[in-house]
Amino acid sequence: MATNQKKLSKSERAQALMRQQQRRERRRNLLVVGSVVLAVLIIAAVLFFVQSKSDTTGKSVTASGTPKNLSGQYDVVIGKSSAPHTIKLYEDLQCPICQEFEKAAGDQVRSAIADGKVKVDYHMVAFLDRESSTNYSSRALNAAMAVLSTAGPQGFLKFHEIAYDNQPAEGSAGVPDSTLVDWAVQAGADKAKVTPLIDGNVYHQWVVNATDQMSKDKVTGTPTIFIDGTEETNLQTGVNAVLQITK
């Protein structure tokens, strides 16, 4: 009997030790899981903080940070006020489909502007920074606004043409600011005046807000083409309609 009780006691002790070990393992696992969850939450909080600090959408723009020669808060209207037709364009200088539109209709649009047949309301945006490693989209628009400020609407129109003729491939580094300065000078800007505006990314906050306004306007992509207030449903119908009123 004593031997059986001794054996039972050993068995019970073994089971107790096993249960104790299992409790330790459960606590350890809970601590590990808790630590992982806490780490994830901390990382998420840090990322949110960083993003919220870097996202300046809606921040007010100073007078010095606002491009000169705008036609509205975010618009550049080029053409005679008496023109019978108005084309409104939402474009991104990194957008390859915008480049297709420019290739198909750009020359004819510029001729029609000069002839008084149309006026064009350009609402330029920059939401394709992710398509380059150097934020080309917003830097190019900042440069376009620098040209508008220093060389006026016709300078902007020329820079617009040059930028699409030399549009960098998506996924590339784009072009450096020095090249944007060269394009600006080709477009008629004074190098001494335009260089600090481009190198300093002076109109960056305006670019952010202009891009945000596109969403507020319920425009979801580029190019978006309106003719006399009516939105064209796709690129081809837009090109055809623009060529029709500008011929």
C-alpha to C-alpha distances, 28 to 19, 33, 34, 39, nearest whole angstrom = 14, 9, 10, 16
The answer as to whether 200 is a domain residue is yes
Residue-number span of the structural domain to which 21 is assigned: 1-55
What's 188's domain CATH number?
3.40.30.10
The rounded distance, in Å, linking the Cα atoms of 89 and 227 is 9
| pTM, rounded to two decimals | 0.78
Residues 95 and 190 grouped into a single domain: yes
pLDDT tens digit at each of 247 positions of the chain: 445 555 556 666 666 666 766 777 677 666 666 665 565 455 545 444 434 445 666 688 999 999 999 999 999 999 999 999 999 999 999 999 999 999 999 999 999 999 999 999 999 999 999 999 999 999 999 999 999 999 999 999 999 999 999 999 999 999 999 999 999 999 999 999 999 999 999 999 999 999 999 999 999 999 999 999 999 999 999 999 999 999 9
232 part of a folded domain: yes
Rg (CA), the chain: 30
Q: How many domains does the chain have?
A: 2
Burial class (CB in 10 A: 0-12, 13-18, 19+), 141: buried
How many CA atoms, within 13 angstroms, populate the side-chain half-sphere of residue 235?
A: 15
159 and 192 housed in the same domain: yes
* Residues 131 and 16 both lie in one domain: no
Residues 93 and 139 in one domain: yes
pLDDT at 47: 44
Range list of β-strands (E), 67-200: 76-78, 85-92, 118-125
| pLDDT of 72 | 96
Report whether the peptide linkage leading into residue 223 is cis, meaning its omega lies within 30 degrees of zero: yes
Do 31 and 153 have their domain in common?
no
Residues 84 and 42 in one domain: no
What residue type is 3 in one-letter code?
T
CA nearest neighbour of 127 among 116, 138, 118: 138
Instruction: Indicate whether 38 and 149 sit together in one domain.
Output: no
Same-domain pairing of 96 and 141: yes
64 domain-assigned: no
Provide the pLDDT for residue 60. 85
Same domain, 50 and 84: no
Rounded alpha-carbon distances, angstroms, from residue 76 to 26, 79, 121, 183: 66, 10, 6, 19
51 and 83 housed in the same domain? no
Answer whether residue 67 is part of any domain. no
Same domain, 41 and 145: no
Q: Are residues 142 and 220 in the same domain?
A: yes
